[in-house]
Chains A and B, each alone.
Chain A
Amino acid sequence: MKERLVVVGNGMAGTACVEQILKYSPRFEITVFGDETHVNYNRILLSSVLAGEKASDEIVLNSLEWYQQNDIRLRLGVRIVDVDTTAKTVRGDDGSVTPFDKLLIATGSTPLIPPMEGTEKKGVYVFRTLDDTRALLDCSHKGARAVVIGGGLLGLEAARGLQVQGCDVTVVHLMDRLMERQLDLIGGSHLKAKIECLGVKVLLEKNTTAILGEERASGVRFKDGSEREADFVVIAAGIRPNTELARKAGLAVNRGILVNDHMETSNPDIFAVGECVEHKGTCYGLVAPLIEQGKVLAATITGNKGPTYEGSIPAAKLKIMGVDVFSAGDFSEGTPGNDVVRYEDPALGIYKKLTLRDNRLVGVILVGDTADSHRYMDWLDEKTDLSEQRRQLLFPAPAADKGLDVAEMPDNKVICGCHGVSKGTIVRAIRDRGLSTLSQLKECTRASTGCGSCTELCQHLLQAVAPQFEQEEKKALCKCVPHSEQQLREMVRSQRLRSVQQVLDIYGNGIGCEFCKPALSYMMDVVWCGDHVEDRSARFVNDRVHANIQRDGTFSVVPRIRGGVTSPEELRRIADVAEKYKVKMVKITGSQRIDLLGVQKSDLPKIWADLGMPSGQAYSKGVRMVKTCVGTDFCRFGVQDSIATGVELERRFENLFTPHKFKMAVVGCPRNCAEATVKDIGLVGQEGSWQVVVGGAAGKKVRKADVLVTVESTEQALQSAALFFQYYRENANYLERSYDFVERLGIERVRRETIYAPLGVQQGLRERLRKSKAASRDAWLEGDEPRTPTQFVQIQPMENVQ
């Protein structure tokens, strides 16, 4: 019979240890108790959930299926309240009694509530679990005043999340600097300055003595008698190891449960791991040491006793409100024999400090630039003798090859701690799947999609390994929002910004201009696949009234005539409309369409209704048309059905917005009568195949389109066109025509990232195109349902001047 292992605690440490135990042997029948009702999740990412960057299901580490696959009995929402060491059973708060042969205590810690009055009031929160996070999300809203007690790591993460939610946040800290466990006075003041720039207020050396308010918190009072109003209060003043169960089990407990180097407690059948244990006088609160402990414990508990845990160098790398911070080891200056090396650039917000002892690194602080953190960490871990390098500690001679540093890392070194992706996995993915950009790497390996602190390392790896690595563009969109479009798309996505004004408020000057507002409008639409907050005030007039403004202030109306194929009945309706509304000119356009020119704004909805045809989008940065020749239907030379294919192509993409206007054509033979080779996308029919060409132009510039691919079936041609279309939509800069885009990237790269991209990447492109298409609609439907009562109607004054 298998031995029964009961694990109390379903957090990161306990579960990571169980994973290690499973690697050794299947000797245990495992039962896991968790008092939270969720499966094991990544607690580090709770701040991302609070900031709205991640949904709660995105931070799950071990799904229910994982427990099932490994035959682990999982009991959620049950708190173990007692342990009987003689009978070897644990009792849950549901009354259940569970026998064990071995017991693993991984109860973690609970928030430390400093002594003060009124902590029981409503509106007082802690920040520890997913439920806490949800409660905070419920009460945070734009303008809500939040006081966060505690300026350590946890407190600042809470503050950051609340600030992103629009709260007016004040951080109150007892000490003379923020994050005193990770930073010295100077580092702390750099961080404070940066955080204050972002609108978070920081009060240092404030001892909170009371939470004010009747039933609900309305503010806090400090020891010096001053007060601060608040709509809610978050206490994030540290953690306390949960040792109650261990005490009941009669284990030796100091601040935490005492364990030796083999992770054994004072009872041979009971083990402990994680934040609840104390090893050589230290309780750890960061993830890396807990994982180390789990590995050692797994060896011990499975009868492979040997590896020892010798304590960890505390190290933290994080991004606090956009500020990179890295801290490791002991950085105290007072210790005799410690040498300190410093670099400081207050204007850039960069601060670096190394503490050395006997020519060996013992502590590091990096603020504002953490690019070199892994090198310092290696020096710390390896206790490298640095006497040869004393002159280049902070400014190492630049490596000839930027990837050299990473190239020297061992393959099993974990690069992305959030998703546990090792260097080897990344290198294999880059090689085997031909990845060349960070976004592809993210999509394929999930590396750097967590906290993002390894982004730079991933970039370096790509640079070192990918033969065709391409740095992503860095040109700022506009002086109103001084970030590149690529950066903005990422920020919009991660911060879940759904309106133009939000982007302008958070990342820009709050105002915007005639260039960036339409650009951001487009970005909202493409990032959220149409599921954004449409702000018409940010659109050019053409996209407010769905017609093209003319030099005299009138508008032109171009109905959609797919593929340029119309009917006598449609033509009759168009003629009637032209007469009825005294249209000044009826013109056949260069795009095989009919243009009605000189229409008053107020007549637009009536004309659309009378036409009974959808919008031809001839006014917007969007899908204009597909021109066709007559193809096999009538032409003596046609070898492909250009008309049906062109109509279908137009149906698939119509009503969608693009970075610039987008024109297409389909021709049934290489004679190219509809000029497909000078269009954004052209399908050129050949005997038994289609050539898909992209990036052609016949405007200010004339450019022959590049061949994207040659395929046999019509459906393949349409699919290839769709991949290019969506790729252009997502990656081109605003107002960049496809021909500039293709020229900038080169057709080779375009091919690699569309038709030859890994399957997952292709599926992503298709799925987002499908979503956008599903959310789109014929703009002229607004004629019947205007967005505002005065969208088309001219306002008449209530009274008049005589």
Chain B
Amino acid sequence: MSGGEKKWVRVAQSVLFPVREGRAVDVGTKQLAIFNLGKEFAAVENRCPHRGGPLADGLLSGNTIVCPLHTWKFDLVSGISVNHKETGACLRIFATRVEDGVVCVEVPVGVEDETIPMVCDSPDRPLRWVARKPITAANSSQQQQ
């Protein structure tokens, strides 16, 4: 990761994340998958390095997330692929903490964001669907309706 500045972002009440499930959240230009591991939370880019699968919809096996599309597995602590090590596939991990019942994620700011390298050239879930415009106060309230 580049040595750019980082910022803690308040994401949402922890109660919105059911235990042992993941949820997708757009933070900045990124879509993150945030998981409630029971005692702690984990955050990664919501994009499987294999073919772009939505990891937030995956099944948790302890601290391992299993992509719902082709069952690629990743360790949420190290980011390393569990069952396709030979490809070098790796998730990008974001630090998390809970403050006053709110899940916070540490994300880089002010630099052009790097994206994780994909294993294949033509992912099924193209980037344009994942990275969206930053959500402003105006359009976020609109979306919540």
Which residues of A lie under 8 Å from residue B20 when comparing CB positions?
Answer: 535, 537-538
Within A261-276, the residues touching B (CB, 8 Å) are none
Which residues of A lie under 8 Å from residue B102 when comparing CB positions?
Answer: 798
Residue from A517, A537, A544, A801 within 8 A of B7 (CB atoms)? A801
Give bound CA distance, A518 to B17, whole Å: 20
Residue from B34, B57, B59 within 8 A of A553 (CB atoms)? B57
Give bound CA distance, A312 to B10, whole Å: 75
Taking the complex as formed, is A374 at the interface, i.e. its CB lies under 8 A from any CB of chain B? Answer: no
Judge whether A800 and B9 touch: CB under 8 Å. yes
Within B11-46, the residues touching A (CB, 8 Å) are 11-12, 16-21, 23-28, 34
Chain A's nearest CB lies how many Å from the CB of B23? 5
Known: A553-B52, A553-B54, A795-B23. A800 touches B135 (CB 8 A): yes
Known: A797-B10, A801-B134. A552 touches B25 (CB 8 A): no
Give bound CA distance, A794 to B71, whole Å: 23
Chain A interface residue count, Cβ-Cβ cutoff 8 angstroms: 33
Residue from B23, B27, B34, B57 within 8 A of A800 (CB atoms)? B27
Taking the complex as formed, is B2 at the interface, i.e. its CB lies under 8 A from any CB of chain A? Answer: no
Most buried by A among B10, B52, B60: B60
Q: Among A219-227, A295-303, A507-515, which stretch is in contact with chain B?
A: A507-515
Judge whether B18 and A537 touch: CB under 8 Å. yes
Known: A552-B125, A801-B27. A789 touches B60 (CB 8 A): no
Which residues of B lie under 8 Å from residue A517 when comparing CB positions?
Answer: 59, 61
Chain A's nearest CB lies how many Å from the CB of B141? 9
Chain B interface residue count, Cβ-Cβ cutoff 8 angstroms: 47
Which residues of A lie under 8 Å from residue B21 when comparing CB positions?
Answer: 536-537, 544
Taking the complex as formed, is B49 at the interface, i.e. its CB lies under 8 A from any CB of chain A? Answer: no
Q: 1/0 contact trace for B48-78 toward A, CB 8 Å?
A: 0001111001111110101011010100000
Judge whether B25 and A795 touch: CB under 8 Å. yes
Judge whether A799 and B16 touch: CB under 8 Å. no
Which residues of A lie under 8 Å from residue B68 when comparing CB positions?
Answer: 540-541, 549
Known: A800-B136, A801-B134. A513 touches B66 (CB 8 A): yes
Known: A511-B62, A514-B66, A551-B51. A537 touches B25 (CB 8 A): no
Chain A's nearest CB lies how many Å from the CB of B135? 6
Judge whether A797 and B135 touch: CB under 8 Å. yes
Closest to B29 in A: A801
Taking the complex as formed, is A790 at the interface, i.e. its CB lies under 8 A from any CB of chain B? Answer: yes
Taking the complex as formed, is B107 at the interface, i.e. its CB lies under 8 A from any CB of chain A? Answer: yes
Which residues of B lie under 8 Å from residue A541 when comparing CB positions?
Answer: 57-59, 68
Chain B's nearest CB lies how many Å from the CB of A574? 25
Which residues of A lie under 8 Å from residue B124 when comparing CB positions?
Answer: 551-553
Which residues of A lie under 8 Å from residue B27 when comparing CB positions?
Answer: 797, 800-801
Closest to A537 in B: B20
Known: A552-B124, A553-B125. A797 touches B54 (CB 8 A): no
Taking the complex as formed, is A392 at the interface, i.e. its CB lies under 8 A from any CB of chain B? Answer: no
Give bound CA distance, A513 to B57, whole Å: 15
Give bound CA distance, A503 to B107, whole Å: 38
Give bound CA distance, A480 to B59, whole Å: 15
Taking the complex as formed, is A96 at the interface, i.e. its CB lies under 8 A from any CB of chain B? Answer: no
Judge whether B136 and A795 touch: CB under 8 Å. no
Chain B's nearest CB lies how many Å from the CB of A593? 22
Within A761-802, the residues touching B (CB, 8 Å) are 788-790, 794-802
Give bound CA distance, A630 to B64, whole Å: 50
Give bound CA distance, A28 to B23, whole Å: 75
Judge whether A794 and B24 touch: CB under 8 Å. yes
Chain A's nearest CB lies how many Å from the CB of B22? 9
Chain A's nearest CB lies how many Å from the CB of B1? 15
Chain B's nearest CB lies how many Å from the CB of A543? 10
Judge whether A797 and B25 touch: CB under 8 Å. yes
Give bound CA distance, A601 to B12, whole Å: 19
Which residues of A lie under 8 Å from residue B59 when comparing CB positions?
Answer: 513-514, 517-518, 537-541
Known: A541-B68, A553-B129. A795 touches B52 (CB 8 A): no
Give bound CA distance, A796 to B23, whole Å: 10
Give bound CA distance, A539 to B129, whole Å: 25
Chain B's nearest CB lies how many Å from the CB of A683? 35
Which residues of A lie under 8 Å from residue B17 when comparing CB positions?
Answer: 790, 795
Give bound CA distance, A552 to B144, whole Å: 24
Within B94-145, the residues touching A (CB, 8 Å) are 102, 107, 109, 124-126, 129, 134-136, 140, 143-144
Judge whether B61 and A551 touch: CB under 8 Å. no
Residue from A511, A536, A549, A801 within 8 A of B61 (CB atoms)? A511
Chain B's nearest CB lies how many Å from the CB of A379? 51
Which residues of A lie under 8 Å from residue B129 when comparing CB positions?
Answer: 552-553
Known: A536-B18, A537-B60, A551-B124. A796 touches B135 (CB 8 A): yes
The 3 closest A-B pairs by CB, nearest first: A537-B20, A801-B28, A511-B62
Known pairs A549-B68, A796-B140, A797-B10. 15 more at Cβ < 8 A? A537-B19, A537-B59, A538-B59, A549-B69, A553-B124, A601-B57, A790-B23, A795-B11, A795-B24, A797-B9, A797-B140, A799-B10, A800-B28, A801-B107, A802-B109
- Complex A-B: 5 CB contacts under 8 Å: A539-B59, A541-B68, A553-B54, A790-B16, A795-B34
